[in-house]
Amino acid sequence: MTGDAIGRRADARASAESRSRAARLAFGFGSLLAVAAGATIAFGSPPLVYQYVPLALSVVVLGLPHGAVDHLVLPRVRGDPVTPRSLAFVGVLYLLLGSAYALVWVLAPVAAFILFILVTLVHWGQGDVYALLEFVGADHLETRASRLLALLVRGGLPMLVPLVAFPGQYAFVAETLIGVFDPGAATALDPLFEPTGRAAVMIGFGSLIALSLLRGGCRTSPGERWPWLVDAAETLGLVGYFATVPPILAIGLYFCCWHSLRHVLRTMLVDPVASAALERGAIRTAVSRFARDAAPLTLAALAVLVGIWLAVPRTPATVADIIAVYLVGIAVLTLPHVVVVTLLDREDGIWSP
């Protein structure tokens, strides 16, 4: 199913104008990453404590709330009412998967960290594949194989490029997250940060990027290359961004201004009220609608974070430790969120082209 086909299927929920406004918002906020890269090149990296600011803000701005309407999106995309059964499904999903993953963090934090990277790679790749189809009309992603390749590339950019470009800071983040549960256990990942491990990642992932872009370019005709050019520009731009901006700051900005924003816009497009507000340019109304819908489960997510804070073996004593506990909480919540987004993708036919 091409981007145009997804757009036609969504007509009952979102007009072309509301989708166009959503796309402009996505690209507008995404351009902030280019500003951050330019500022880093011009003025250097800010002190570490300031690099944590976007991640800290993501607790209430876009980051944590972006998944807080999971209980509403599936009924809305299907055109069904929200029922106790639909709410119970999402609630049980979060309870079972979240609890199981939290236990993995306690018992095997190194494995939990690796799973966090892999799950985030898949999830952020999912988000970009949807955006390419819905906002760009990426007809060069006409097959399931091309979309899977795009998922691996787009999800791999924030997860793998910083490993190659900033191995010391990447290792620091791994040590702080794993160290919350087992100080010293992160040494098991040291081979990844050595020159040989980084070279393997660079060659392997670089080959995937080249294959994805070349495959897409070969499947477009000369007069229809605009979507592919947007895809290529975003991909190469993100390579430059994550190779330039230090990882903690880069991920925080990307999480809020790129991934979370695009998912929030997706949830607005399946909400008739928010979609209608976007159509008439009432952005504030659409945002207020989302904020109202997301508020209850955002508060519930904050309660989960407090529970994790109380459950960790040692009290977080530094900014890095506090953010590490937050990221563990994000990891626990991301796993069931990915299941919901996968079901949402299925409803939109993204993996049935």
**Among 198, 205, 202, 117, which Cα is nearest to 153's?**
205
Query: What does the alpha-carbon distance between residue 179 and residue 186 come to, in Å, rounded to a whole number?
Result: 7
Sequence-separated (6 or more) residues with CB below 8 Å from residue 85: none
Q: Is 140 annotated as a binding residue?
A: no
Query: What does the alpha-carbon distance between residue 341 and residue 299 come to, in Å, rounded to a whole number?
Result: 21
Query: What does the alpha-carbon distance between residue 48 and residue 33 come to, in Å, rounded to a whole number?
Result: 18
**Contact status, residue 192 vs residue 158, Cβ threshold 8 Å:** no
DSSP letter, residue 47: P
DSSP letter, residue 313: S
Query: What does the alpha-carbon distance between residue 197 and residue 20 come to, in Å, rounded to a whole number?
Result: 42
Amino acid at 301: A
Angle at 352 between CA 10 and CA 6, to 5 degrees: 20
**Contact status, residue 312 vs residue 325, Cβ threshold 8 Å:** yes
- Two tokens at 255? 């999480």
**Contact status, residue 205 vs residue 160, Cβ threshold 8 Å:** yes
φ/ψ (deg, to 5) at 224: -130, 35
φ/ψ (deg, to 5) at 138: -75, 85
Angle at 31 between CA 26 and CA 32, to 5 degrees: 110
What is the CB neighbour count within 10 angstroms for residue 149? 21
Q: Is 71 annotated as a binding residue?
A: no
Q: Count H helices, E strands: the chain? A: 17, 0
- 163 CB-contact burial (10 Å; exposed 0-12 / middle 13-18 / buried 19+): buried
Binding region for Fe cation? 66, 123, 259, 263
Binding region? 66, 123, 259, 263
